[in-house]
């Protein structure tokens, strides 16, 4: 008799207590095994290379490069990677940025644990899995039809805005994203031009209002 198929998971969150809690939730499911954990975008990429998990459960908000950057890097390595975002933020612009980077699904941390489990099974089946609140946010955004400030930005521009708003210097952002300082400066200029922000303080307010960072 053959053994049941294992579904392997990489869990990415920069809070150890959060990882421990959700590891217990996931490994209580038949066939689910958390094969690795990571606390940063760089560690997530390294863990994906080492373990090739079936699913990555990825937080967005982390110190340094965010989950969006990790999604982009992992998908650049493996175009078939299944990555489920698991975030406290469910704003439509952020959800769309995650999907543009290559996410397979998006669940908020306010969802019941069962929603996370369903979403993991969904992305394994090839579905675009969403928690109910995320689905509602996207539907409302679609019905509204109005373009938000963040809708004008690409996912790399959103990532740089997030890091600027978190107080990182141009040099730190360049190191996090493996870009030149000049390239980051150019993105900074483009973000201001596209959003109409005149100052970095206005960019911070935009990032906070959009759920990219917190004061």
Q: Do 150-209 and 7-144 fall under one CATH topology?
A: no
Residues 119-171: pLDDT tens digits? 999 999 999 999 999 998 888 777 665 456 777 788 888 889 988 888 889 99
Residues 199, 16: Cα–Cα separation, whole Å:
35
Tell me the pLDDT tens digit for each residue of 2-51.
445 789 999 999 999 999 999 999 999 999 999 999 999 999 999 999 99
- Going from N- to C-terminal start, the domains of the chain cover 7-144, 150-209
Residue 68 exposure: Cα atoms within 13 Å on the Cβ side:
23
pLDDT at 214: 64
Q: Where is pLDDT greater, at 59 or 62?
A: 59
Q: How is domain 150-209 classified at the CATH fold level?
A: Arc Repressor Mutant, subunit A (1.10.10)
- The CATH number given to 7-144 is 3.40.50.2300
Q: Which H helix or E strand runs over 107?
A: strand 105-108
Give the CA-trace dihedral at 197, 151, 131, 63, to 10 degrees.
Answer: -50
Q: Which of 82, 88, 91 is nearest to 60 (CA)?
A: 88
Could you tell me how far CA 124 lies from the centroid of its own chain?
A: 18
């Amino acid at each position: 008799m053959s053994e049941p198929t294992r579904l392997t998971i990489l869990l990415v969150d920069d809070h150890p207590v959060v990882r421990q809690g959700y590891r217990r939730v996931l490994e209580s499911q038949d066939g689910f095994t958390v094969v690795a954990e990571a606390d940063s975008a760089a560690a997530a990429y390294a863990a994906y290379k080492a373990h090739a998990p079936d699913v990555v459960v990825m937080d967005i908000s982390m110190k340094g490069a965010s989950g969006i950057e990790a999604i982009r890097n992992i998908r650049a390595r493996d175009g078939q990677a299944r990555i489920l975002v698991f975030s406290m933020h469910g704003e439509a612009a952020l959800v769309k940025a995650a999907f543009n980077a290559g996410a397979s699904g998006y669940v908020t941390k306010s969802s019941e644990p069962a929603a996370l489990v369903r979403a993991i099974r969904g992305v394994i089946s090839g579905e675009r899995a969403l928690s109910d609140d995320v689905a509602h946010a996207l539907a409302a955004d679609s019905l509204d039809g109005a373009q938000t400030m963040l809708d004008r930005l690409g996912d790399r521009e959103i990532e740089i805005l997030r890091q600027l708003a978190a107080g990182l210097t141009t040099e730190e952002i360049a190191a996090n994203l493996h870009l030149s300082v000049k390239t980051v400066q150019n993105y900074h200029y483009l973000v201001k031009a596209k959003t109409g922000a005149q100052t970095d303080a206005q960019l911070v307010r935009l990032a906070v209002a959009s759920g990219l960072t917190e004061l």
